[in-house]
Each structure stands twice: as structure tokens, then as C-alpha cells.
Amino acid sequence: MSLDISISHCKTNDTFTNNHFNKETNLDINDIISFIASYFVDIIIENREFRNERPLNKNDIFYSNKIPLITTEEFIIRIEKYTQLECSTLISAFIYTKRLIEKENYIIGLNNLYRIFLGACIIAIKFNEDSNFKNKYYAKIGGLNLEEMNLIEYNIYYRIDFNLIINEKEYFEVINNVLRNHV
């Protein structure tokens, strides 16, 4: 199967801002959501083995004392439903989250993933899309207050060194993984 995905708009810095997946790939937002949720669930399960050696930092801005009552996939669907983010923006948020995890060898669990991913979505929306909501609205989606939401967003920017540029290779690696896993 050839990979023929048309990019209708691309910033000059190679960050993809608007993708239209053609009929050959049959990708839609639900495929991407499912892939991202599965990826993070696998990491959370894998990280459970290391919790005794490296427990989650309860003083970290991303840590929540309460474990959300919805699944990872349901949370991502909630973000998509209330923000109407584009496929490319969702992929960007996934890449920013992975960068944070990899850069800091960060341990992901249910106590911190949702906050991190929501913050990454906000950053991706602000960077990739023409319009966005105020952080107070995003905070409501995630069950947070405005101050927490602002701190989470700032901390993600800082921890990924404000690197929002996504190159073509990095972007299409995610697309190829979604294709392999969901088509």
C-alpha cells in the first residue's frame, strides 16, 4: 500500500497545520485517537513495573491526587469533541507529549497523563490552528482551574524547550504507526 496523504497547508517551518487524509489511507480522527490512547495505555502498564523504583512525583504540576473516572480514549475523545481540533493538531499534541516523556525520562501514569496531554493539546491548537479558546475553557474540559491550566501549559513549553517544530519525518512516523495499527 502506498502512502498518499495530501497536506493542504504547511507552515514554512515544516509544522503541519491542516491535513486531509485521502480515501486510500482511510484515516480519520477516531483512528488517531484510538492509536494515541493505546500507545499511552501501553506506557502506563509498562511503567507500573518501575513504580517502586521511581514513583510518580506528587509535587509535580502534572500530578493529580484523583485518578480520572474515564478511560484515556474517552478523555481524548472529550478533548476532540469540545475543541474540534484537527487531525494534524492531535498528532502534534501526541508528539509534544512524547518529547516531554523522552526528554525527561518521565514516568507516565493515570495521575498525570491527562493533564500533560490536555496541556499538549492546548499548545498544539495555539500553534497550528487559526482560532482557539481561552485557557479557562480548556481548564473546564480537563476539570482544572485556570491557574493549574496555565501552569501546566507553561511547564510543557519549558520542558520541551519551547520546541514546537515538527519535521516531516517525525510527523509521518506517527501517520505510519496509525496506518499499521488501525487500517
Is residue 105 situated within a structural domain?
Answer: yes
Is residue 126 situated within a structural domain?
Answer: yes
Residues pairing with 10 in the sheet:
16
Q: Please tell me the predicted confidence (pLDDT) of residue 26.
A: 67
Is residue 1 situated within a structural domain?
Answer: no
Q: pLDDT tens, 78-92?
A: 999 999 999 999 999
10 Å CB burial of residue 46 (0-12, 13-18, 19+) is exposed
C-alpha cell at 126: 495555539
Residue 31, domain CATH: 1.10.472.10
Is residue 183 situated within a structural domain?
Answer: no
Confidence class of residue 53 from pLDDT cuts 50, 70 and 90? low
Q: Please tell me the predicted confidence (pLDDT) of residue 56.
A: 77
Is residue 41 situated within a structural domain?
Answer: yes
pLDDT at 21 over 50: no
Separation of alpha carbons 88 and 8, rounded Å: 11
Total domains, the chain: 1
10 Å CB burial of residue 138 (0-12, 13-18, 19+) is buried
Q: Which domain holds residue 118?
A: 6-58+65-177
Q: Please tell me the predicted confidence (pLDDT) of residue 119.
A: 98
Is residue 48 situated within a structural domain?
Answer: yes
pLDDT at 8 over 60: no
Highest mean pLDDT among 22-36, 97-111, 154-168: 154-168
The rounded mean pLDDT for the chain is 85
Q: H-type helices in 3-132, by residue range?
A: 29-48, 72-83, 87-104, 113-128
Largest CA distance in the chain: 48
Is residue 169 situated within a structural domain?
Answer: yes
**Which of 21-30, 31-40, 105-114, 133-142 has the least mean pLDDT?**
21-30
Q: In terms of pTM, does the model score above 0.75?
A: yes
Separation of alpha carbons 153 and 12, rounded Å: 24
Is residue 182 situated within a structural domain?
Answer: no
